[in-house]
């Protein structure tokens, strides 16, 4: 990762940009650092609608923080209602295309009607502020409608990505004690139906708190509807009134819980609240995406991940954008579906992941080259480090060397982008997320919390609270404190390694904990290990991330078996399917290796470093003096890859 090429912003881009030139960036950054209360207070007043003004900008008693305490607002009101007495009322909010090619254009006014009606449906089921809804749907317009309807009433929503299995869904419904599940009959993916409702049925066998299931008809596939519990969305919606005022809610009212992988087998329920979260989503739409009234903006993430929450739903809508939303796979019916959509809708801002970019590179330049993408003016990347080669390809082949690329570093926990270039101000260096946004104080430190020297690797921490940070973990404030705030006292521990160069640019190097990143999706090694040992044949399992050309990392598993005679190749295939069943298709291991024992220290700890070396280089070079049984390593490395 040499800091070879530097790309300063082009004069045309700078002219129209929200923040112009390095002086513009430095001035904002300085103001936020010197007086955060004044800085964020002024933005909150200017950018959000309030039912009642706050009395304090923030109150910080580590690790507890309150932003805009005493204030009352409503996220849905800010995303929808307040646009209705402006020229945006008939502007398209959501420009949707289904995988089969069906289309919908929903204006802010129409969105208001849809959301109000569905909020009344939820009210009609007896749901109120503080109740919980689990949402398990495909990428259809009713998904943002469901989120916004919950936000309108203060019902805490938790979206479970449609790629998660019934098992994973069940665990989330139970942890949250949700009263309602909102789902679809199915979703379209590569021309096939992903059955969602049947997964809900399977999950609900052990979820007594769920009173109602609301089912949107999307694919028309056959579903079972249980009398008294299951209701069709369209039937409930038919009689619902379009008058449903947004509830004035406390600034710190929980907005949603999003489960993400941590270092244990149990996913963490990240809790985001109302005012601070929304403010930082809106600000980053301007600072990072440089959003203008006339833009057509497209973030290709799934709403099941945090990127979809902040940058398909809440950020763009609060900023009054026209956002493209696409239901299906990028390569359906052909590898040029994304480029076709950019050409068709004249997309100007395009935000995707390095994994997607690398797979486009592999498919060949003829696919993008066959389309007129001259509408593009800004490109974005998120989810994992982007390697300079992929960056250069994105810049040249997609952006035609006209469009800045914003490499955005953030996490489910941070709520919004924290480190990224302001495109009209900050020169780009391929592979670096560049400089922190205003109000963000990142540092690279050693384990004692001491700042590392320029150019040295260390742990990435954030020194001061910011408005969109996670407030706690659902029903586990202790884990929140110890995981994030205790390791380096008083600082937020990101779990990423990084280094800062002589220009103050941050280079993110990846996770330092047992979290893998597969196609930009977070997955814990322990989660996969726990899934494996639930299989009757498995005695012990150890899982590591293996470098992968396209997906960044792939899941590699080391397994020891219980006594018995096993058909190993057959069992390996069965275990791969088993993990997909227990967690979801995206977690399917690439590789299963069998061993008589796993490499352990004398105290019994699995030596993951060795396993990582084995899957990367197929040999072990480092220190093995703490290893109990050296023959294990020989056995593991001599095994040919299963794939
Ligand atoms: C938004 C999101 C978070 C983890 C994070 C990093 C990695 C994300 C970048 C990145 C390098 C980036 N949330 N990560 N963005 N690494 N450069 N621009 O992805 O909670 O699912 O994952 O993803 O390791 O800690 S997430």
pLDDT digits (tens, 9 = 90+) for 194-210: 999 999 999 999 999 99
In terms of Cα–Cα distance, which of 272, 158, 263 is closest to 479? 263
In a domain, residue 274? The reply is no
Sign of CA dihedral 121, 127, 130, 133: negative
How many domains in the chain? 2
- CA of 384 from ligand 1 middle (Å) equals 5
Among 191, 216, 250, the domain boundary falls at 250
- CA of 408 from ligand 1 middle (Å) equals 8
Question: What pTM does this model have?
Answer: 0.92
Q: Is the CB of 391 under 6 A from ligand 1?
A: no
In the sheet where 442-445 sits, what is the strand order?
442-445, 458-462, 492-500, 506-511
Q: Is the CB of 415 under 6 A from ligand 1?
A: no
- CA of 289 from ligand 1 middle (Å) equals 17
In the block, which residue shows the tokens 């007896």?
A: 126
Range 254-261 average pLDDT: 95
Does residue 632 have a pLDDT over 80? no
Among 233, 250, 267, the domain boundary falls at 250
In a domain, residue 534? The reply is yes
Q: Residues with Cβ < 8 Å from 170, sequence gap 6 or more?
A: 202, 203, 204, 205, 206, 207
In a domain, residue 613? The reply is yes
Q: What's the confidence (pLDDT) of residue 320? A: 98
Running DSSP on this structure, what letter comes out for residue 301? Answer: S
- CATH of residue 239: 3.40.50.980
Q: Is the CB of 73 under 6 A from ligand 1?
A: no
> Measured between alpha carbons, how far is 577 from 570 in angstroms, rounded to an integer?
11
Q: Is the CB of 506 under 6 A from ligand 1?
A: no
In a domain, residue 300? The reply is no
Looking at every residue in the chain, the average pLDDT score rounds to: 94
Range 432-456 average pLDDT: 96
Mutate to test the pocket of ligand 1, among 410, 444, 470 (most ligand atoms within 8 A of CB): 410
Does residue 261 have a pLDDT over 60? yes
**531-567 residue pLDDT tens:** 998 999 998 899 999 999 999 999 999 999 988 889 9
Q: Is the CB of 81 under 6 A from ligand 1?
A: no
Q: Is the CB of 310 under 6 A from ligand 1?
A: no
> Measured between alpha carbons, how far is 311 from 302 in angstroms, rounded to an integer?
10
In a domain, residue 559? The reply is yes
3-state secondary structure (DSSP) of residue 371 = coil
Sign of CA dihedral 423, 424, 430, 431: negative
**489-515 residue pLDDT tens:** 889 999 999 999 999 999 998 888 888
Q: Is the CB of 412 under 6 A from ligand 1?
A: yes
- CA of 85 from ligand 1 middle (Å) equals 37
Q: How confident is the model at residue 613 (pLDDT cuts 50, 70, 90)?
A: confident
Crossing angle (nearest 10°) for helices 142-153 and 108-124 = 60
3-state secondary structure (DSSP) of residue 306 = helix
Counting from 1 in the atom list of ligand 1, the atom nearest the Cα of 494 is: 25
Residue 540 φ/ψ, nearest 5 degrees: -140, 150
Q: Among residues of the chain, what percentage have pLDDT more than 90?
A: 85
Q: What's the confidence (pLDDT) of residue 316? A: 98
Q: Is the CB of 414 under 6 A from ligand 1?
A: no
Q: What is the 3-state secondary structure (H, E, C) of 603-615?
A: CCCECHHHHHHHH
> Measured between alpha carbons, how far is 194 from 166 in angstroms, rounded to an integer?
12
Among 218, 250, 282, the domain boundary falls at 250
Q: Is the CB of 384 under 6 A from ligand 1?
A: yes
Q: How confident is the model at residue 574 (pLDDT cuts 50, 70, 90)?
A: very high
Atom 21 of ligand 1, residue of closest alpha carbon:
522
Atom 13 of ligand 1, residue of closest alpha carbon:
411
Counting from 1 in the atom list of ligand 1, the atom nearest the Cα of 413 is: 20
Range 83-87 average pLDDT: 97
Q: How confident is the model at residue 616 (pLDDT cuts 50, 70, 90)?
A: confident
Sign of CA dihedral 441, 29, 452, 516: positive
> Measured between alpha carbons, how far is 108 from 83 in angstroms, rounded to an integer?
7
Q: What's the confidence (pLDDT) of residue 641? A: 42
In a domain, residue 133? The reply is yes
Counting from 1 in the atom list of ligand 1, the atom nearest the Cα of 307 is: 1
Q: Is the CB of 508 under 6 A from ligand 1?
A: yes
Range 351-363 average pLDDT: 93
- CA of 222 from ligand 1 middle (Å) equals 38
In a domain, residue 617? The reply is yes
In a domain, residue 335? The reply is no
- Evaluate whether 269 touches 258 at the Cβ level (below 8 Å): yes
Domain that holds residue 131: 79-90+106-250
How many Å is the Cα radius of gyration of the chain?
A: 24
Q: What's the confidence (pLDDT) of residue 608? A: 80
Does residue 451 have a pLDDT over 50? yes
Q: Among residues of the chain, what percentage have pLDDT more than 70?
A: 95
Q: Residues with Cβ < 8 Å from 10, sequence gap 6 or more?
A: 402, 404
Q: What's the confidence (pLDDT) of residue 128? A: 97
- CA of 481 from ligand 1 middle (Å) equals 21
Q: Is the CB of 517 under 6 A from ligand 1?
A: yes
Counting from 1 in the atom list of ligand 1, the atom nearest the Cα of 520 is: 19
- Evaluate whether 44 touches 54 at the Cβ level (below 8 Å): yes
Q: Is the CB of 383 under 6 A from ligand 1?
A: yes
- CATH of residue 597: 3.30.300.30
**336-352 residue pLDDT tens:** 999 999 999 999 999 99
Is residue 338 exposed (0-12), middle (13-18) or buried (19+ Cβ within 10 Å)? buried
> Measured between alpha carbons, how far is 412 from 427 in angstroms, rounded to an integer?
26
Counting from 1 in the atom list of ligand 1, the atom nearest the Cα of 515 is: 24
What Cα–Cα distance (Å) separates residue 3 from each residue in 365, 433, 436? Answer: 26, 12, 18
Atom 11 of ligand 1, residue of closest alpha carbon:
385
Q: What angle do CA 44, 48, 53 make, to 5 degrees?
A: 65
- CA of 516 from ligand 1 middle (Å) equals 11
- CA of 458 from ligand 1 middle (Å) equals 17
> How many Cβ atoms are within 10 Å of 234's Cβ, its own excluded?
11
Does residue 631 have a pLDDT over 80? no
- Evaluate whether 281 touches 416 at the Cβ level (below 8 Å): yes
């Amino acid at each position: 990762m040499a800091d070879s090429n530097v790309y300063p912003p082009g004069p045309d881009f700078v002219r129209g940009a929200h923040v112009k030139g390095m002086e513009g960036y430095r001035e904002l950054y300085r103001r936020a650092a010197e007086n955060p209360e004044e800085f964020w207070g002024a933005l909150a007043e200017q950018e959000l609608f309030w039912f009642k003004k706050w009395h304090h900008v923030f109150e910080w008693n580590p690790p507890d923080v309150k932003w805009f305490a005493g204030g009352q607002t409503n996220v849905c009101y800010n995303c929808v209602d307040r646009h209705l007495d402006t020229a945006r009322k008939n502007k398209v909010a959501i420009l949707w295309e289904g995988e089969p090619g069906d289309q919908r254009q929903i204006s802010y006014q129409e969105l208001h009607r849809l959301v109000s009606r569905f909020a009344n449906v939820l009210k009609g089921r007896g749901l109120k502020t503080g109740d919980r809804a689990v949402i398990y749907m495909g990428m259809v317009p009713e998904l943002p409608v469901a989120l916004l309807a919950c936000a309108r009433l203060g019902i805490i929503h938790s979206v479970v990505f449609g790629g998660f299995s019934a098992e994973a869904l069940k665990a989330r419904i139970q942890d949250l004690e949700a009263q309602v599940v909102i789902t679809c009959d199915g979703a379209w993916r590569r021309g096939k139906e992903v059955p969602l409702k049947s997964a809900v049925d399977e999950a609900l066998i052990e979820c007594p708190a769920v009173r109602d299931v609301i089912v949107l008809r999307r694919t028309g596939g056959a579903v079972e509807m249980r009398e008294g519990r299951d209701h069709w969305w369209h039937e409930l919606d038919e009689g619902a009134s379009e008058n449903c005022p947004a509830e004035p809610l406390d600034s710190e009212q929980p907005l949603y819980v999003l489960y993400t992988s941590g270092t244990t087998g149990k996913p963490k329920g990240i809790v985001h609240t109302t005012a601070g979260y929304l403010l930082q989503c809106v600000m980053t739409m301007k600072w990072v995406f440089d959003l203008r009234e006339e833009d057509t903006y497209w973030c290709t993430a799934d709403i099941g991940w945090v990127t979809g929450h902040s940058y398909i739903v809440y950020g763009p809508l609060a900023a009054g954008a026209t956002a493209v939303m696409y239901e299906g796979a990028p390569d359906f019916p052909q590898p040029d579906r994304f480029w076709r959509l950019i050409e068709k809708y004249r997309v100007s801002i395009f935000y995707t992941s390095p994994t997607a970019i690398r797979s486009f590179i592999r498919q060949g330049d003829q696919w993008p080259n066959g389309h007129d993408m001259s509408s593009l003016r800004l490109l974005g990347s998120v989810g994992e480090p982007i390697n300079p080669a992929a960056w250069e390809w994105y810049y040249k082949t997609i952006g035609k060397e006209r469009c800045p690329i914003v490499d955005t570093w953030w996490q489910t926990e941070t709520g919004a982008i924290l480190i990224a270039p302001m495109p009209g101000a900050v020169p780009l260096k391929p592979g670096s997320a560049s400089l922190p946004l205003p109000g963000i104080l990142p540092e690279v430190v050693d384990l004692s919390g001491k700042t590392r020297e320029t150019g040295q690797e260390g742990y990435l921490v954030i020194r001061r609270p910011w408005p969109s940070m996670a407030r706690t973990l659902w029903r586990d404030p202790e884990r929140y404190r110890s995981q994030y705030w205790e390791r380096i006292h008083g600082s937020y521990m990101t779990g990423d390694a990084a280094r800062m160069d002589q220009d103050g640019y941050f280079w993110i190097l990846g996770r330092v904990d047992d979290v893998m990143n597969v196609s930009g999706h977070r997955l814990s090694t322990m989660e996969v290990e726990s899934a494996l040992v639930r299989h009757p044949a498995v005695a012990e399992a150890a899982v590591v991330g293996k470098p992968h050309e396209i997906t960044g990392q792939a899941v590699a598993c080391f397994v020891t078996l219980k006594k018995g005679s096993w058909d190993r190749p057959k069992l390996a295939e069965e275990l791969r399917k088993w993990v997909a069943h227990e967690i979801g298709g995206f977690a399917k291991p690439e590789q299963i290796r069998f061993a008589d024992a796993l490499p352990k220290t004398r105290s019994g700890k699995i030596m993951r470093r060795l396993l990582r070396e084995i899957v990367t280089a197929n040999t072990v070079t480092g220190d093995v003096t703490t290893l109990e049984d050296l023959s294990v390593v020989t056995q593991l490395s001599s095994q040919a890859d299963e794939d």
